[in-house]
């Protein structure tokens, strides 16, 4: 088995010598994602540190950042639930330099990577470890102007069919539970108490989840938005 020329070029740029290159090629052929071998991943203008502790940010999530940044003119308080590498929180802190921004994750290891990336870009983001909203300081309740999230939304059965290199990413970053909707259900249960009046949200969703997610967030005038390939990949809504 050989690697495509563009991947070989990228690994040559990382390797210090032929022995290292051979080792990297071996790991890539065994399924390690290219970005883990390089140690970084592009997210819009950002070059984020990534390793096996975090999901590699995807192009769709860049679209979520752009979409969220257009939803509201001057958010004062922004939260990114399930921040992983910190991609959305850091990008939004740069889109809205006047806003206070929080990024949360259940994984302490992910928070370590997000903190590293935040420092790399001198981002003014508070990193909080914990389960969804429980990670946030209580005084934020009722005052979030913009909430974003790319939560785990793969079901247990879908996980088994994912490609080998995707399954090298943290399972807890991908799998939500038996249906794939569990994390949205938990977010929907308390979303109304955390958003400010007229607070808005934008979440990434799986392409088959639009109907279920529309029902879950029915109290927030939900709208489904499409990605560049025309797939239903985002839900946005507002607290009225
Ligand atoms: C799909 S990844 C998204 C990472 C990042 N936002 C991105 O788009 O690249 C989901 C993240 O949610 C975190 N996570 C899983 N369950 C969680 C929970 N109950 N509370 C907070 N974070 C959770 C995982 O550790 C992982 O970092």
Cα gap 148→69, rounded to integer Å: 10
DSSP 56: P
* Overall average pLDDT of the 55-69 stretch: 98
Determine the residue of 40, 105, 134, 180 to mutate for testing ligand 1's pocket, defined as the one with the most ligand atoms within 8 A of the Cβ atom: 105
- What number does the ligand 1 atom closest to the CA of 174 have? 1
Note the pLDDT of residue 208: 97
Residues in the ligand 1 pocket, defined by CB under 6 Å: 54-55, 57, 61, 82-85, 87-88, 104-107, 110, 131-132, 150-152, 172-173
Mind listing the pLDDT tens digit for each residue in 138-173? Answer: 999 999 999 999 999 999 999 999 999 999 999 999
Note the pLDDT of residue 182: 98
Cα gap 20→4, rounded to integer Å: 18
Q: 114 pLDDT exceeds 90?
A: yes
Determine the residue of 66, 79, 84, 176 to mutate for testing ligand 1's pocket, defined as the one with the most ligand atoms within 8 A of the Cβ atom: 84
Q: 217 pLDDT exceeds 90?
A: yes
Q: Do 192 and 219 touch, CB atoms closer than 8 A?
A: yes
Residue with CA at minimum distance from ligand 1 atom 13: 82
Which segments within the chain are labelled E, that is strand? Answer: 40-43, 46-49, 77-81, 100-105, 125-129, 144-149, 154-155, 175-177, 195-204, 223-226, 232-238
Residues of the chain with pLDDT > 70, as a percent, come to 100
* Overall average pLDDT of the 200-227 stretch: 98
Mind listing the pLDDT tens digit for each residue in 22-32? Answer: 999 999 999 99
Cα gap 188→166, rounded to integer Å: 27
Total residues found in the chain within this entry? 240
Determine the residue of 56, 59, 117, 151 to mutate for testing ligand 1's pocket, defined as the one with the most ligand atoms within 8 A of the Cβ atom: 151
Q: What is the value of pTM for the model shown? A: 0.97
Q: How confident is the model at residue 1 (pLDDT cuts 50, 70, 90)?
A: confident
Domain extent listing, the chain: 53-238
Q: 43 pLDDT exceeds 90?
A: yes
CATH of domain 53-238: 3.40.50.150
Mind listing the pLDDT tens digit for each residue in 77-104? Answer: 999 999 999 999 999 999 999 999 999 9
């Amino acid at each position: 088995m050989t690697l495509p020329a563009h991947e070989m070029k990228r690994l040559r740029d990382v390797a210090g010598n032929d022995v290292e290159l051979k080792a990297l090629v071996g790991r890539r052929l065994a399924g390690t994602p290219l970005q883990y071998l390089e140690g970084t991943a592009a997210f819009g203008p950002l070059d984020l540190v990534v390793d096996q502790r975090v999901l590699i940010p995807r192009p769709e999530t860049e679209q979520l950042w752009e979409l969220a940044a257009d939803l509201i003119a001057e958010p004062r308080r922004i939260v990114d639930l399930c921040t992983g590498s910190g991609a959305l929180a850091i990008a939004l802190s740069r889109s809205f330099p006047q806003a206070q921004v929080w990024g949360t994750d259940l994984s302490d290891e992910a928070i370590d990577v997000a903190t590293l990336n935040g420092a790399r870009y001198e981002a003014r983001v508070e990193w909080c470890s914990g389960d969804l909203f429980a990670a946030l300081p209580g005084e934020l309740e009722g005052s979030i102007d913009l909430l974003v999230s790319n939560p785990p939304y793969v079901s247990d059965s879908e996980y088994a069919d994912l490609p080998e290199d995707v399954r090298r990413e943290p399972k807890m970053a991908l799998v939500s539970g038996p249906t794939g909707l569990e994390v949205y259900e938990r977010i929907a249960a308390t979303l109304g108490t955390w958003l400010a009046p007229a607070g808005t949200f934008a979440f990434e969703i799986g392409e088959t989840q639009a109907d279920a997610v529309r029902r879950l967030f029915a109290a927030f005038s939900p709208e489904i938005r499409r990605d560049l390939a025309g797939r239903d990949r985002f839900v946005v809504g507002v607290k009225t």
